[in-house]
Structure 1
Amino acid sequence: MSAMSNSNWSRRSLFRAAAGMAAAGTLAACGGNNGRGGSGSGTGLTQYFHAYGEAGTEQAIKKYAKAYQGADVTTQWITGSNFESKLFASLLTDQAPDLFEFHPQIQLIKSGQVADLTDLVTPVKDDFNQADIASHTVDGKIYGVRMIDDPQFFFYRKSMLEKAGIQPPQTLEELMEAADKLTTSKVKGLFLGNDLHAVIQPLIYAAGADTLNDKNEIAYHTDGVVQGLKTLRKIFTSGNLLLDAPADFWDPSALNQGLCAIQWCGMWAMPQFQQALGDDLGIMPFPKVSDAGKPAVYNGGWSMFVNAKSKNVDAAKEYVKWLWIDQKQYQEDWALSYGFHIPPRTSIAQSAEKLKSGLPAEGVRLFNEFGHFDRIGWTQAMITATEDVFANCVRKGGDPEAELDKCDAKVDAELKKLFG
């Protein structure tokens, strides 16, 4: 998941009320037309992208579209908060995009919203990270083409840890102690993002749990997760956590400007961190939570989907095949020329010089060793339910068991709707 430029936007600020939103009329001002096909066939396609925070990304997506000869491709580059809700609201209207980026979620498939792309992906299936193939597959069919993988880590100032006499924390308890030692009158020890949502899944994984299991049953309600929530509550109330930073976790400015010593962020921001901090930069996975846990790296990312309800499904599929299957040069450009993302195509990832040494190579190693991918059955409503747990436990001091019980009821209701 790459950064948005709006500082109020949380990467997982989620869709809560598409039905109540105005139709896509509000979206007309969001995009720019500049992706025109060369000698296009006359077919017009519209694609939706959220506004990535890295400079040059909007121009790159429009450059690729302009190079395509098969259709005129218009890009809606959606700035501001709540890309998800704008996208979902537009999909209910006749102004819906022909193709759009999002994350694999099963409700989009069950509702017939996204087209089956098995025929596009199958010829190159073995060249994709197989975890990405699995996270886009339902009943043997592949929906969506992964564009980028986005591992997330803790970034830290080596000099600040050395000065405080501490090693990179191996457990959540050690992270809490480190945050205390690193906090001064001017610097907070730790930044987890303004709403803490970014660390929900990492915490679950680091506790040895998961969102769902392979049978699409609840897997996050464990003693380890309860313990992790209690520790995060202590961190939240300690005075050692940076709250209300000028930009959210996806932006590197909190660490770069010296507001904190350790920041949760994504590999996308690594070039900006390195530019600001040089060699005074380390990364580490989310430290293990409880004895049952182990370090965790959450892998976000973005995938391209074709709107199955579009009048131009075949033309949209052709464009997706051209850009995200055939044009390896553009795929590598998109992954590595702006921020750093891991290309989901194994051949591109292995040949990418920028990922072969130093901190990027360490990021790839942590991704390979500790990476966790979204489960396709883990939907927006379920994500929102776990956000409520964090709001009520970590921020407000509620009882983790009671809050997880409430979450279970919501998630179970969703699972029944989806899987019977």
Structure 2
Amino acid sequence: MGSGLDRRSFLLVAGLLGLAACGSDTGRGGAADGTLRHWYHAYGEDGVQDAVRRYAAGYPNGKVEVQWNPGDYDSKIVTALQNSAVPDVFEAQVKVDWVRQKQVVPLDDLLGDARDDFVRTLLDSQTVDGRLYGIPQAIDTQVLFYRPSLLRQAGVTPPTTVDALLDAAERLTAGKVRGLFAGNDGGVGVLTGPLLWSAGLDFLSADGTAPGFDDPRAAAVFGKLRELNQGGGLLLGAPTDWADPGAFVDGLVAMQWTGLWNLPKITAAHGDDVGVLPFPRLDATGAVSVPVGAYSAMVNARSADVEAAKAYVKWLWVEQTDHQTEFATAFGAHLPARRGLAERAERLGSGPGREVVGFVTDSGRIAAPARWSARANTALSDAVSRIARQGADAKEELTAALDVARAEIARLDR
């Protein structure tokens, strides 16, 4: 929600690879004063903040205060985990460093009989060294939205290869309309993973013991992103970034890479003139893909009452299936993290939504593996940015990023 749409899936998703707050946080207290502090990032969909505040108010076993966090939420969480007992509970994607530094606690004992109802791939993505550290809240994914009418007018077929995507971006550019928007950074932030997958590569090797992009095809595919940035078909400097559908809704582009969570706003603006595609393959040996991610509820190991925090997480994200269904389906287009709730996702029962369910089922890829460290990610992202935006030599840049990734893998394995 607000970062990517991945959550519902009807029974098909079983095949997926398988503010003001209620009270403001002062940094004092915590569970020691009988109050649990629960942090969320600032979701973009209307109604989410009110809903999570209502859930907290309904907790029967104690007081819970919700803090809504606009801005750089990820950095704020990193800082908080290093220094504070607040928040007691927070949403994030599990990072191996947090586990190794004992900043979060295992939550395996919370699932009980519900374990098999959660999409297995999601649980695996929140697992480090065989222990589960996050309870998935919902699934998000990103897809390529396009206007079929504009493609027909330009004589463009929906692109199924990276070269076809580049060609379509150029041919769909006319007047004030650009062909494609993938973020104001030229697609570096959201297309790095899909580009790797399009070439049959990944961030990490299958066993997680080596970088997954030590291959000449990585330089070739990131060279395609440079071509896209150097061409005239890419929108840059949009009023909002890729996670918001504004550029597509307002007719600034014919295609936009964005989250499925924006489907209601997009269909409200363009009706039936909406198509969706996975990210295309590089060539015959590559693969189409959509990124799959899920914020999970986690417990701060510094909480003044870890057991109270765990009990609240179990109540909200394991026992309260009505809350879970509403959270995943009522405010945007997401997939429930649990197969048993998937039938309630009426919004994805037909049209583009149903197509995306198929993309997730057939071609979903975990966007942020727990063992892919922040330092390795920054090194690769910086390299891709210099390749795409500055024309730097792809082979040299990726060699440096590989050195960082190898060092990070070795550090984590010590």
Q: 2:305 aligns with which of 304, 312, 319?
A: 312
Determine the structure 2 residue equivalent to 1:379.
373
Q: 1:68 aligns with which of 59, 64, 72?
A: 59
Q: Does the aligned pair in 1 maintain the 2:194–2:289 contact within 8 Å?
A: yes
Q: 2:200 aligns with which of 196, 208, 224?
A: 208
1:401 equivalenced with 2:395 (yes/no): yes
Q: Tell me the distance in 2 between the aligned counterparts of 1:120 and 1:324.
A: 9
1:391 equivalenced with 2:385 (yes/no): yes
Q: Tell me the distance in 2 between the aligned counterparts of 1:290 and 1:104.
A: 33
What pairs with 1:75-154 in structure 2 (closer than 5 Å)?
A: 75-80=66-71, 82-94=72-84, 96-154=86-144
The one-letter amino acid of 1:63's match is R
Q: Tell me the distance in 2 between the aligned counterparts of 1:41 and 1:136.
A: 28
The one-letter amino acid of 1:290's match is D
> Which segments of 5 or more consecutive residues in structure 2 lack a partner in the other structure?
5-18, 25-30
Please state how far the C-alpha of 1:356 moved relative to its aligned partner: 1.8
The one-letter amino acid of 2:370's match is I
Q: 1:244 aligns with which of 218, 224, 237?
A: 237
Please state how far the C-alpha of 1:123 moved relative to its aligned partner: 2.4
Q: Tell me the distance in 2 between the aligned counterparts of 1:110 and 1:134.
A: 17
Higher-RCO chain (CA-CA 8 Å, sequence separation at least 6): 2
Determine the structure 2 residue equivalent to 1:419.
413
Q: Tell me the distance in 1 between the aligned counterparts of 2:393 and 2:99.
A: 35
Deviations 1:223-268 (A, max 9, x none): 3222111111111011210001110000001011011111000111
Aligned identity (percent) is: 37
Q: 1:158 aligns with which of 148, 164, 182?
A: 148
Q: Which moved more, 1:50-59 or 1:217-226?
A: 217-226
Segments ≥4 residues shifted beyond 6 Å: none
Determine the structure 2 residue equivalent to 1:19.
none
Q: TM-score, normalised by structure 1?
A: 0.90
Rate the CA distance shift 1:382–1:41 in 2: closer, same or farther, 3 A: closer
Q: Tell me the distance in 1 between the aligned counterparts of 2:66 and 2:376.
A: 30
1:363 equivalenced with 2:352 (yes/no): no
Determine the structure 2 residue equivalent to 1:13.
none
* Secondary structure, aligned partner of 1:148: coil
* Secondary structure, aligned partner of 2:137: strand
* Secondary structure, aligned partner of 1:92: helix
Q: Does the aligned pair in 2 maintain the 1:236–1:395 contact within 8 Å?
A: yes
Q: Tell me the distance in 2 between the aligned counterparts of 1:235 and 1:94.
A: 44
Determine the structure 2 residue equivalent to 1:173.
163
Q: Tell me the distance in 2 between the aligned counterparts of 1:135 and 1:95.
A: 25
Q: 1:334 aligns with which of 327, 340, 347?
A: 327
The one-letter amino acid of 1:139's match is D
Deviations 1:193-250 (A, max 9, x none): 1122011111111111111123221002323222111111111011210001110000
Q: Does the aligned pair in 2 maintain the 1:96–1:310 contact within 8 Å?
A: yes
* Secondary structure, aligned partner of 1:395: helix
Q: Tell me the distance in 2 between the aligned counterparts of 1:122 and 1:204.
A: 37
Q: Give the CA RMSD over aligned residues.
A: 1.8
Determine the structure 1 residue equivalent to 2:15.
none
Q: Tell me the distance in 2 between the aligned counterparts of 1:353 and 1:184.
A: 37
Determine the structure 2 residue equivalent to 1:56.
47
* Secondary structure, aligned partner of 1:372: strand
Please state how far the C-alpha of 1:34 moved relative to its aligned partner: 4.6
The one-letter amino acid of 1:145's match is I
Please state how far the C-alpha of 1:94 moved relative to its aligned partner: 2.8
* Secondary structure, aligned partner of 1:401: helix
Please state how far the C-alpha of 1:162 moved relative to its aligned partner: 0.8
* Secondary structure, aligned partner of 1:49: strand
Determine the structure 1 residue equivalent to 2:347.
354
Q: Does the aligned pair in 2 maintain the 1:224–1:292 contact within 8 Å?
A: no
Deviations 1:290-330 (A, max 9, x none): 33211010112211101112111111111100010011110
Q: Tell me the distance in 2 between the aligned counterparts of 1:292 and 1:110.
A: 37
* Secondary structure, aligned partner of 2:293: strand
Please state how far the C-alpha of 1:42 moved relative to its aligned partner: 6.6
Determine the structure 2 residue equivalent to 1:18.
none
* Secondary structure, aligned partner of 2:52: helix
Q: Which moved more, 1:222-231 or 1:328-337?
A: 222-231
Deviations 1:131-185 (A, max 9, x none): 0111112232211000011111000111110111111101000001101110012
Q: TM-score, normalised by structure 2?
A: 0.91
Rate the CA distance shift 1:351–1:94 in 2: closer, same or farther, 3 A: closer
Q: Tell me the distance in 2 between the aligned counterparts of 1:242 and 1:289.
A: 22
Q: Does the aligned pair in 1 maintain the 2:198–2:282 contact within 8 Å?
A: yes
Rate the CA distance shift 1:117–1:95 in 2: closer, same or farther, 3 A: closer
Q: Does the aligned pair in 2 maintain the 1:171–1:289 contact within 8 Å?
A: yes
> Which segments of 5 or more consecutive residues in structure 1 lack a partner in the other structure?
5-29
Please state how far the C-alpha of 1:41 moved relative to its aligned partner: 11
* Secondary structure, aligned partner of 1:48: strand
Q: Does the aligned pair in 1 maintain the 2:85–2:304 contact within 8 Å?
A: no
The one-letter amino acid of 1:33's match is C
Q: Tell me the distance in 2 between the aligned counterparts of 1:262 and 1:371.
A: 21
Count of residue pairs the alignment pairs up: 391
